[in-house]
Amino acid sequence: MEVKEIYWLKELSKDYNDLVGKKCANLGELVKLGLKVPYGFALSTKAYEHFMTATGLKEAVEKIVGNKRRAGLDTNKDVDGMIEMSGRIRAAIEEAPMPPDLAGPIAECYRMLSEETGGGEVACAVRSSGAVSMPGQMETYLNVKGEQDIIYHVKKVWGSAFTTRAIVFRIDNNMPISWAPIGVAVIMMIEAKAAGVILTLLPNIGDTERAIVEGNFGLGESVVSGEITPDSFVIHKKDMAIESRSIGQKTKMVIYGGTGTTLCEVPEALQGAACVEDREILEIVRIAKQVEDYFGAPQDMEWVVDKRFAFPENIFWVQARGAKFAKKEVGRDEEYVIDLMLQLFRK
Amino acid sequence: MKVYDCVPGLEFDESVDFQVSPCWFHDATHSVPPWTPMFGWFWVNFCRHGMQYGAEKLSLPTVKGWDWRFKDGAGYLALLIVKDPAERRAREERFKVAIKPFTADFAGMWKGFVDEIVGKYEKLKALDLDKASNIELLENFEETINTTRRMWEIHMYMMYGVYTAFVLFEQMTKQLLGIDDTSPQFHKLTSGFDNKSFQVDKELFELAKKAQAMGLKDVLLATPASTMKDTLQSSQKGQEFLKIFDDFMKNEGGWRMERMAEINVPTWLEEPAPAFNVIKMSLEKGVDYNLDEERKKREAERLATEKEVLEKIAPEQRSWFRTILTLAQNCAWFSEEHNHYLDLYAHAMIRRSTMGVGRRLAKEGTIDAPEDVFFLIPDEVRKAGINPGMFNLRTTVARRKADWQGWCANGNPPMIMQEGFAIEDAMKGLVESLDPIALKVVVGTMPVARPELKADLYGVCGSPGVMEGTVKVIWTENELSKIVKGDILVAPTTSPSWTPVFSLLGGVIVDRGASLSHAAIVGREFGIPVVMNVFEGTKLLKDGMKVRLDANMGTVYILDK
């Protein structure tokens, strides 16, 4: 395992969890399975160290925290003091110039990413990727474009480890205050035509010969959350035949908007139209079958179709995990049947 | 402010009730013609209570039962849907445990309930109402109220449980076998079970056999049902037969209502003419016919179909499918049997106790006639219960009777909707509730017209088969006597007390119905074709028309156009 400051997602695997954070490591795992994930790169905690040392921020932050510590660290009483300390540290991080030997490679990676996604300046999501989940480390910046802005937002993510909440959390849990290394993911924004899930079995009857694909326009959250009736296709895996199709009345979809995602109306003319083409469905099944074969177990996977790319390059994967289904061997028939009854109430 | 009259607290009030639901559905199956105030009070209070009790005991994830309101003699209902996903999940967890008795020992659970409720009926019946003191009579009436409440608790707890299982069965047969409730095979899987309702009907049939053996056939056939008792009294053989007949009626046969959901018509025990008519019909048809053998034929068919079907299912799925099949079969016979032990019997108990009170009030001058008691509500019975002679309730009776006559003349609309709310939204809400009772009873399967079949009516299969015969349009039980062997019964829906004539019928066509409605279940038991959800059968078909019904295709053809 080569320790670097910047990695392409495809170089990663779960071995890199501590270095680049869970989010990035998981995407790397998907790539290893032969799945195409949204293009992007990750900055490791080494990049953070480099930045903090080269800019002198390491000492500066320690000094700010040290002064505060001498004055007494009372997270309950001195709320204003905490806010003030957070503000000073974050401003210092965001204002410090990125060292050229780090800024250069970041800009280079961004240029390559832009080329891969069709040239120009591609819009990216810049987000934190921690090895463990921690309050305050949830920063995500959407629609970031251009080298300068990417670099600025990387610093913003690093600074987010010093939000008031994050600082208070570390003080209360006796963790180091002034040293908070975190991974950063820079990933292209998907322009989602449609998204959804595939299960490589019919979960309610345990039929492993068939797969079910469900999808909606826009991003996948609306399918997973069950807010709308998605399109639903049952595919015979061996024959690669779409055996049944149910087109939902898809009134709403999830899109990127503002600083996150929002629910919006699907144009009326589209509501009753299939959100994916047959060839896209079959391609989704083909890839999911490979993953299933690799693990030897049914899979539950999330896919997105990006409208900027031509088939079959337009299908991206954002999640893969073993499918949860009521396995007959696990319980007695009665328990399985009760589980099936529950499904009736989840339409 | 709304002034409540018949059902305090539960009368429709649009200024607040649209907050519960923007749409209220008319329960046309039970409240047409409009209920008397007394019966409306019992139904709206306790059917409502039972549904919410059942849904809560089972912790149904998506629905908390139905809310009910009384309006102009009609029951109006709305579903109490669980909207919060977190609450649904929490209810799912509890459902997993709560539903277990249905898969573990269904028959044992049901027997426990039957013993409990029949025990309560026996206690009520033990009091001689006309010899009882006023206090005892009032006590009997109060216990009747409690018994009815308990009956509805058992009723709806059971019904929600078995209907959930039945909906699952339908889904699984569709997915695994490609058949749905419009397929003959589907129905064969759930018919041919012995049950109490069937047994009671069989006993009536046995009575006909006895009458024939005693040489009474000609007398019975020649005498109108209304004067049968007097005629039989005049001969020794007749008296002997009457004793057997009366015993049967007192014990079990007589505790049924002509109209299942109302108490202003006599029980069979009070007015046995319908029972004599059934006996006469059996004699006409010929008592060589063996009901038990017929049922066994259904049973053999069922077992053969089970075998056929299980072979089509992958071996590893057979065992749990068997469990679902058993649940659905329980559901089918329960649907038929519960009418006997629950609705019909309990309503006969309400009739008995209320009439006892009515006779007393009339005797003491509180009201004019015993039947006027149906225009009072329990609060007024309590008001006059101990000292009836001190009170005069004639004004109340007169006012409500006039109201009721108005309701009967005007009828009630199928829905009450908030302004701007559309029927489609209302139906959508019904489907989204995933309430198994709403799905199986209110909605049913909608027929698809297939012009290539050139039929006059399109419906769905309630019971398989093809038959030709003469139409008899039946609206009430009184009209059943016009049926002769081989006729095709046409009705809005059928009622449990009509079951005995099914043995005479060639087929049945009903305007509305789902796979668990009375006509479908009984049609399957008797092995006659039933076409349901034709919507306009009673409008289009007239007495005497010759028709062919092909239940397998869900079609009806008028042959003598």
- Statement to judge: residues B438 and B487 lie in one domain: no
Report the DSSP beta bridge partners of residue A262: A255
H or E stretch including B230? Answer: helix B228-233
Nearest CA distance, B420 vs chain A (angstrom) = 20
Cβ A340–B103 below 8 Å, yes or no? Answer: no
Encoded tokens for B255 = 């505790």
Q: Is residue B121 a part of any domain in this protein?
A: no
Q: Which of B443, B460, B480 is the last residue of a domain?
A: B443
SS3 B13: coil
pLDDT of residue A226: 66
A69 touches chain B (CB under 8 A): no
Query: Taking residues A210-235, what's their average pLDDT?
Result: 85
Are B436 and B171 spatial neighbours (Cβ–Cβ below 8 Å)? Answer: no
Nearest CA distance, B265 vs chain A (angstrom) = 40
Alpha-helical runs (H) found in B6-98: 14-20, 37-58, 85-98
Question: How many other CB atoms are found less than 10 A from the CB of residue B159?
Answer: 24
The architecture that CATH gives domain A6-188 is: 2-Layer Sandwich (3.30)
User: Cβ contacts (< 8 Å) between A344 and chain B: which residues?
Assistant: 164, 167-168, 171, 434, 436
SS3 A330: coil
CA distance linking residue B152 with residue B267, whole number of Å: 20
Question: How large is the C-alpha radius of gyration of chain B?
Answer: 24
Helix B315-339 with B106-125: angle, nearest 10 deg: 10
- All CATH 3.30.1490.20 domain ranges in chain A, comma separated: 6-188
SS3 A310: coil
- Statement to judge: residues B401 and B500 lie in one domain: no
CA nearest B336: which of B246, B264, B260, B281?
B260
pLDDT of residue A80: 85
Q: How far is CA B46 from CA B59, B113, B437, in A?
A: 19, 17, 17
Encoded tokens for A81 = 């003091």
Encoded tokens for B195 = 């049950």
- All CATH 3.30.470.20 domain ranges in chain A, comma separated: 192-344
Nearest CA distance, A241 vs chain B (angstrom) = 17
- Choose among B95, B103, B434: nearest Cβ to A337: B103
Q: Which residues of B475-510 are buried (b: 16+ CB within 10 A; e: fewer)?
A: eebeebbebeeebbbbbbbbbbbbbbbbbbbbbbbb
Note if the bond before B266 is cis, omega within 30 degrees: no
* Residue A18: exposure state from Cβ atoms within 10 A (0-12, 13-18, ≥19): middle
Cβ A338–B100 below 8 Å, yes or no? Answer: yes
User: Cβ contacts (< 8 Å) between B60 and chain A: which residues?
Assistant: 345
Encoded tokens for B81 = 């849907």
Encoded tokens for B479 = 């009209």
CA distance linking residue A219 with residue A196, whole number of Å: 8
Residue count of chain A? 347
Assign residue B554 the CATH number of its domain. 3.50.30.10
Per the structure, the complete domain to which residue B437 belongs is given by 1-98+391-443
pLDDT of residue B248: 92
Q: Is residue B226 a part of any domain in this protein?
A: yes
Pick the CATH number of A192-344 from 3.90.1150.10, 3.20.20.70, 2.40.10.340, 3.30.470.20: 3.30.470.20
Q: Is residue B288 a part of any domain in this protein?
A: yes
Higher pLDDT, A203 or A183: A183
A333 touches chain B (CB under 8 A): yes
Task: Provide the Cα torsion B534, B535, B538, B539; round to 10°.
Answer: -120
CA distance linking residue B78 with residue B60, whole number of Å: 16
Q: For residue B149, report the phi and psi dihedrals to the nearest 5 degrees.
A: -60, -45
- Statement to judge: residues B476 and B547 lie in one domain: yes
Cβ B175–A334 below 8 Å, yes or no? Answer: no
Widest distance between CA atoms in chain B: 75
pLDDT of residue A330: 42
CA nearest B344: which of B251, B249, B440, B267?
B267
- Statement to judge: residues B398 and B458 lie in one domain: no
SS3 B329: helix
- pLDDT per residue as tens digits for the range A280-317: 999 999 999 988 888 778 888 999 999 989 999 999 99
Q: How many domains does chain B contain in total?
A: 3
Q: Is residue B162 a part of any domain in this protein?
A: no
SS3 A215: strand
- Choose among A205, A226, A342: nearest Cβ to B317: A205
Note if the bond before B22 is cis, omega within 30 degrees: no
- Statement to judge: residues B431 and B460 lie in one domain: no
DSSP result, B261-304: T-SSS-BTTT--HHHHHHHHHHHHH-TTS-HHHHHHHHHHHHHH
The position carrying tokens 């799925």 is: B317
pLDDT of residue B444: 62
Ordered mean pLDDT values, 10 residues apiece, chain B (561 residues): 82 92 85 93 98 97 96 94 90 93 90 96 97 98 98 97 91 85 82 85 89 93 92 94 93 84 92 89 79 84 91 82 92 90 95 98 97 98 97 97 93 84 74 80 68 89 91 84 91 79 91 78 86 87 95 92 77
CA distance linking residue B297 with residue B295, whole number of Å: 5
Q: Which of B245, B273, B292 is the last residue of a domain?
A: B292
Higher pLDDT, A90 or A256: A90
pLDDT of residue A328: 46
Cβ B164–A340 below 8 Å, yes or no? Answer: no
Q: What is the DSSP letter of B492?
A: S
pLDDT of residue B211: 93
Nearest CA distance, B324 vs chain A (angstrom) = 7
Are B209 and B319 spatial neighbours (Cβ–Cβ below 8 Å)? Answer: no
Alpha-helical runs (H) found in chain A: 17-20, 22-32, 45-54, 57-71, 79-95, 100-116, 147-159, 164-172, 221-225, 268-271, 278-295, 333-344
CA distance linking residue B99 with residue B102, whole number of Å: 6
- Statement to judge: residues B1 and B37 lie in one domain: yes
Cβ A336–B172 below 8 Å, yes or no? Answer: no
Q: Is residue B468 a part of any domain in this protein?
A: yes
Cβ A333–B104 below 8 Å, yes or no? Answer: no
CA distance linking residue B25 with residue B425, whole number of Å: 12
Cβ A338–B99 below 8 Å, yes or no? Answer: yes
pLDDT of residue A242: 92
User: Cβ contacts (< 8 Å) between B171 and chain A: which residues?
Assistant: 344
Q: Is residue B161 a part of any domain in this protein?
A: no
- Statement to judge: residues B455 and B549 lie in one domain: yes
The winner for highest mean pLDDT among A35-49, A71-85, B276-290, B439-453 is A35-49
The position carrying tokens 């305007």 is: B511
pLDDT of residue A326: 52
A337 touches chain B (CB under 8 A): yes
Interface size between A and B, measured as CB pairs under 8 A: 62
User: Cβ contacts (< 8 Å) between A341 and chain B: which residues?
Assistant: 95, 99, 164-165, 168
CA distance linking residue B78 with residue B20, whole number of Å: 8
Question: How many other CB atoms are found less than 10 A from the CB of residue A60?
Answer: 17
Encoded tokens for A133 = 């989940």
Cβ B436–A328 below 8 Å, yes or no? Answer: no
- Statement to judge: residues B201 and B265 lie in one domain: yes
Name every residue whose Cβ is closer than 8 Å to that of residue B539 and which is 6 or more positions away in sequence: none
Name every residue whose Cβ is closer than 8 Å to that of residue B435 and which is 6 or more positions away in sequence: B60, B62, B63, B66, B79
Model confidence at A340, pLDDT cuts 50, 70, 90, reads confident
